[in-house]
Each structure stands twice: as structure tokens, then as C-alpha cells.
Structure 1
């Protein structure tokens, strides 16, 4: 299944779940506020969270500061009643102007109390799943406020909810969904941060790291050649100046990882490429000409890699944009990673 890089907003929401679990452990009475719908110029995306305790202390944001005060006030009523509710703010609403929501934006916020041991267990399960880099979702019935967790690899009983979860894993986006029985739910997605493991601390890597980080990817570099793998060349990036066979196990490659092998040295590149194929990494790319790749194919077949798996390697690496310089090749590599991750525009439209 194609997967998606984790947007900054979603990453912040996952941190919010850690706050929720910590506050639950402290015995606080909590309300979880979630943006479930937006129109126009809304300041925060769908799925943004705000957690409020019984004293009005809060963390997170549903509007960037515009309506938080009003949401906290509503949360106190939810704590008193014990019942979930939906509230809306928009420019046509006098209250919205008072609390500062402007620019034509409207938001719908869902408030649900987190008061039971079941609620605590669900948040704990989501955080444990997150630590294992596995996708999951908090599924909430908007009529009753009851929630459950959908885990990756386990189908929801309702086909519509299962299909929505699969789509959420691909897009990384939370949203409302209707069950086969007509009930309205909100699916709050938890998707692992997508990362790129680069084998080779070369000039291309120096160009690739900043643009990939800007695009939201976590980066790790592996290269046993200390002349290349130095903090001076890569000051702000995790760097392993070791042979791949000594460090690949600790990287725990998974379907949310892209592996880029660009040392042009089989002694360094081959092992991580083979491990990436076995781990089901969503992108596996290797530097080298077609002639070089043909020789690689002979080595991989001798090592037991079958034709279907070998065909997953993108080589020569990168989209064909005519790139020549290290920076241009880096752009081509990142573009190929993104199109593998997201699908082309035509594929995206077909999936809708």
C-alpha cells in the first residue's frame, strides 16, 4: 500500500496524544477537541487537536488562537454533562467575530470527554503503535462520542470504515466518514513519519538533505567512509559512519522508509538495497547506469533476490529530468520518491 509523509500538523497532533496520556496518568479530567470540518480560510487543518483539563489548562490548537477561549469554555460544559458535542464557528456567527475567526473561515470542532479507563487504554494503544512506526486511527462515532482504534493490517468490521482507513494511510489525512449503516464517524489518522535512509554521504546527498527535510522527510545517512561521513559536511542530520551490515538492523527499515543508495560501490550499496526490498520499503533507488544495474541484477539474483523484487529498484535513480549536477540529480531523486509516495496527479484523481 502506498504511504504518505507525515505533515507537520499531523506530527504535532501525535505529540498531543502523548500529552493526553501523560495528563490521564496524572488523574486529570480531560476533553479532547478536534477540528472535524473546515470551510474557506480555516487556520488549522482537519484533525488538529486541543486537549483541555478541568482547570481550563490546555495544550494544542484548533484555530491558531482564534477560538481556543470559546472551545475551553464549551469543554467545561462537556466535563459537567459527560456528553460529547459539536460546535461551529464561522463569519456568519456573531460569536465567531467576537473570538476572532475571520477571513471567511469556518471550522467545526468536536468535543469528547476522556473520562473512562477505556479512553485511557485507547490513547495508550495509539501511542504504543506510534512508537512502533505503525499506522493507526482513532475512530469516533459523532452521535455517541464512543471511540475505538483501527490498527494497520486489521480490517474494520464495516467495509466503508475499512476503506476509509486504507485511504487515510495513503493520504495521511483525517476526516469524516459514513458507515454502511449510515452512522457518521470521524477518523483521526496516526501515520508514521516517512523517512529517507541515504547510503552514501556524497555531494548528491548534501543537496538532497535540505530539500527533503523541507518537504517533511526524516533523514538518516549511512557511509563507512569517514572522509565523506563527517558532521562538518552534514551538521544537522543523523549520520552513521559505519558499514551498513553493522547498522542496518538498528534502522529497522519498514514500508514507511525510502532507501537511496548512491555510493556507486557494491560493497556498500548492495546489502542495504537487498534489505530494503525484504522490508517492503516504499521506495528503493540506486545510482548507476543501465550497464551497472545489469551487473547488479546478476549479483542480486545470485544472492536469491527474485525478478519481481529486483524490478522494484529504481535505477538509474531519479526522474528523467535531464539532471547533470549533484543538485539537479538530488531534485530528480526527491521527485521520484514523492511520485512513488503520492502517485501521479492522474493516479490521485483516479483514487478519489
Structure 2
């Protein structure tokens, strides 16, 4: 059976046909197989087996989906009636299957087999594209002019040749014919193609648009055509034009908006923000900046001591899936600078365990915000970035940082201080619902915290909400209300350490979104960033 799998894989590889091989890599309990491979073609045809039944059916479905996306994946299957990854079986075992995708290449359709598309084909072949060339002039379609495995399609007319090809929404189409551009473009515009490039002079674009509108093509559909196709590199020769075209196609294939590379790098650096700290106030700032178009990277302790864990991006560092979503924005744990840059490219917030900000030299941010709220400066200085800000006391604006944002509740909350310091720390929490210090839950002794309630729970005065230490010393809430914060279980804390808080307003409080305080401070940060950036431009 294994020989059949790999002999078929060899045949499909030779013909450059997409397929996936599913391999059992881990089993437990009463699994039907412990070591096996299953080959799945995109048509659903299979060779081999990983055990049959519902598990195999699920693996086949996942393999076909993986082929369509071009991404390998891991599949977990539990041979039980209920529970996580249950397959509706009674065996009781479990298996982990890795699906490895092969021969999935981006599709490129070149309409017209002239000099430019010949050069495009050779460059695309080296870049891993599956190439089809369509033309109505057969002498152009000689195999020697194109890379090996190029599919050559002819027809009596260009429309007939195009009809013999397969065009999906993801097919990259480049039209470059001698005298059939109008017919070719009108034909392609009636397909599902989303990525259409037309080689044309700027004058010819006007003619093409007029003809398209005459035939009933909507202005919106025509405007989806990239014409003249390619990036503006000053290209003149067919070889240079091919580089221009493939540069644009690569950008689109990677879901990037094509732009001159120098501009992209410079603009990317201008948008990059590093926030020291990833607690709830820092996370409110991160949300504001992220939603305003900035790329945000947050730095915190490997085991964060935040208490409002459901609305703090620091939680990504300890969650099993290394993710947390706050108000629709996802924070992802980054294991390295390279990892962080990939995360922000995907328009997520990167969170790194780097309390000393050692990664700043590589990250080269335009903006640094100290949101640790340690009530003292833990090393932030103006040379860290072109724009430096800090939240709360412990910093002097104009000396340590460019500006300080007031964090004390009251009339000045969120005020930008460009010279001087924020109000000194009083040591007393702001009053909410008539309660100040009573709202804060502190450890009665040193030791490991074991929460007995979770964020969002309603508690009553005198209730034990957690225990600390070897002898389970109780943490008792002095007021009734809703649990707004609770530290992660298993953390070792010192005596009097802040481990949670209770909001006396109870059910009327939304514990699932950032606080009014965080939003006000975030507004001050954004205003300071824009003001300082504009004044220094």
C-alpha cells in the first residue's frame, strides 16, 4: 500500500499535479492505525489509508481544503462520540495527522505568446508559477520559446483559445497580444478573474475602456484591470517589462498593495510603534493606534502580572494558543523580531516577552510608548525612537521623553504634558461608586495565587475570591460587585501584591471591553504622536 502511495506521488510530481500526503504522526488509545500514509488528489481520488471510517473521511476533506489553499496543516481526531475533535466513533482512541501539500502552484495565464509574454513566462517559471499561454497564432506557440511544462493553448480566435483555459478568481491573467487586445480583454472580463493585467500604452487604455463600456462592461469592472500592467520601473525592453509585470504580480499574490519598494519600507517604519507594557491601559493605547493605521508591537514580562487579563494583550504570552482578541483585534505572541514583523504584516498586534526592550535595535520603531505604569522610569529615554511618550508619573517630558500623558483620574486625565511631569502617585486608587482602596484585592501573604472566581463574576461582601500560599490564606472582598480583574492562576506574588479588583457598579459594568480611563489616555497618546510627528517633519 505504501508503495502505491509513493509511486502515485512520483507520477503526480512528474506531471506537476497538486496532491497531499496525510501521515499519522501520533496516536493514543485504541487507534485503528499507528503508522500509515494516505495520498489525496484535488479531485478526491485517494491512495492508501489512515484507518478508514469517519476519521479518514475527515482527513480527506481537510486534505482537499489544504490543496485549495496551498497550505499544509495538522489534523487532530478523537474517536469518541463527544468532546474536542470528536468523530462520532466508539473506539476511544485519538490520532494526529499531518497533511503535507505538494505541487500547488499559483496559476498564471498569459494571453498572447509574443516577446513580452515569453520573457514573463521564463521569469514566472523560476518563481514557481504554473504557466498557461494562449494565442490564436500557432507559430508563436512553440515549446522552445517557453519554460518546461508550460501549457500551450491555441484557437482559431483569441476568444476560442481563452475558452480552452481554466480561469479561477485567483488566476493571474496578463494580456499582451499584437492586435487582439480588445477581444481578449472583453472575453476575460466576463470570467471570474479578479487579477487582470493589460499591456497597453496610456493612450490605448482610453480606447480599451470605451470599447469595454460599449459592450456592456461596467465602469467598476473595467477599473479592476491593471493597465498599463506592471510597476513603474522605467522598463523598456521585453526583459525589463517582464520584471515590472512579475513584481506587481508577486505583490498581489502576497496580498500586498503594489508600491515602490523604497516607499514601502520607509512608510512601514514610520507606522511602527513599540509599547513597553501590555496591561489593560497599554492595550487601550495599542487598540487606538492599531485602529488608526499604526503597526503595534508590545513588550512585557514572560509571565505578566496583569489582572484584567481578558482585555490585556499581555495574555497572548501565556494563553495556550498564544493569542488573545480584544474588541475584535488579535494579539499574537511573537517568539522573535522576525516573528513580530510577520504578525504586524498580517495586521495583528505582536506581543513579545522582552521587558528590557532589547529588541528595539532591530525593530527600529518610529514611536516608543512606555506604558509599564511602574510609577518610575525603567529605562525609557528619548534616543529610543524619533517619538517617545510615557504614561503617568516617573518621567519628565522634554528630558526623559517627548511627552507624558496624565493617568490620574479627574479633569486632567489624558492631558498631554510637553514640559514637566504627571501628578505624583497618591497610592490610592480612584474612587468609583464611592469606593477607592476597597476595590483592590491584595495578597495577604507571599505565595502562589489560586483564584476562586473569574472575571465577570458577581461577588458579595465578605466572599473569599482567591487563596494565596501554602496554607491557602483567603483573599476576601470587602465590597460587593463584579470581578473586573483577577491575576492568572499559579503566579507567585509578594505580600500586599495587587491580584484583582471588584467594581461596585456590578452588572451595569461592561467587563469585556477597554475602560473609559484606557480610552481617554489612548486619545492623548494618539494626539501626542500626531502633533510631535507633524512638528518634526
Give me the whole-angstrom Cα distance separating, in 2, the residues matched to 1:252 and 1:147: 38
More relative contact order, 1 or 2 (CA 8 Å, 6+ apart): 1
Q: Does 1:328 align with 2:240?
A: yes
- SS state at 1:313 partner: coil
- SS state at 1:296 partner: helix
Match of 2:152 in 1: 239
Match of 2:119 in 1: 207
Match of 1:193 in 2: 105
Alpha-carbon contact 1:141-1:147 (below 8 Å) kept? no
| CA distance 1:316–1:139, shift in 2 (3 Å) | same
Alpha-carbon contact 1:140-1:146 (below 8 Å) kept? no
Tell me the CA shift for residue 134 of structure 1: 7.1
Q: Does 1:82 align with 2:78?
A: no
Matches within 5 A, 1:176-187: none
Alpha-carbon contact 2:66-2:73 (below 8 Å) kept? no
Alpha-carbon contact 2:19-2:101 (below 8 Å) kept? no
Match of 2:414 in 1: none
Aligned-residue CA RMSD (Å) = 4.0
Alpha-carbon contact 1:193-1:256 (below 8 Å) kept? no
Structure 1 residues 88-122: Cα deviation after superposition (integer angstroms, max 9, x where no partner) = xxxxxxxxxxxxxxxxxxxxxxxxx9424112223
CA radius of gyration, larger in:
2
Match of 2:162 in 1: 248
Structure 2 regions of 5+ residues with no counterpart? Answer: 1-12, 35-48, 88-95, 258-263, 269-294, 296-343, 349-537
Match of 1:60 in 2: none
Alpha-carbon contact 1:282-1:341 (below 8 Å) kept? no
Give me the whole-angstrom Cα distance separating, in 2, the residues matched to 1:142 and 1:322: 55
| CA distance 1:304–1:139, shift in 2 (3 Å) | farther
Match of 1:152 in 2: none
TM-score by length of 2: 0.36
Matches within 5 A, 1:100-249: 114-126=50-62, 140-141=75-76, 146=85, 193-234=105-146, 236=148, 237-242=150-155, 243-249=157-163
Alpha-carbon contact 2:107-2:129 (below 8 Å) kept? yes
Tell me the CA shift for residue 291 of structure 1: 1.1
Structure 1 regions of 5+ residues with no counterpart? Answer: 1-8, 21-30, 34-74, 86-112, 149-184
Q: How many residues align?
A: 222
Tell me the CA shift for residue 282 of structure 1: 3.5
| CA distance 1:32–1:274, shift in 2 (3 Å) | farther
Match of 2:93 in 1: none
If each structure's helix is expressed as a fraction of its own residues, which one has the higher value?
Answer: 1
TM-score by length of 1: 0.52
Match of 2:20 in 1: 16
Alpha-carbon contact 1:201-1:228 (below 8 Å) kept? yes
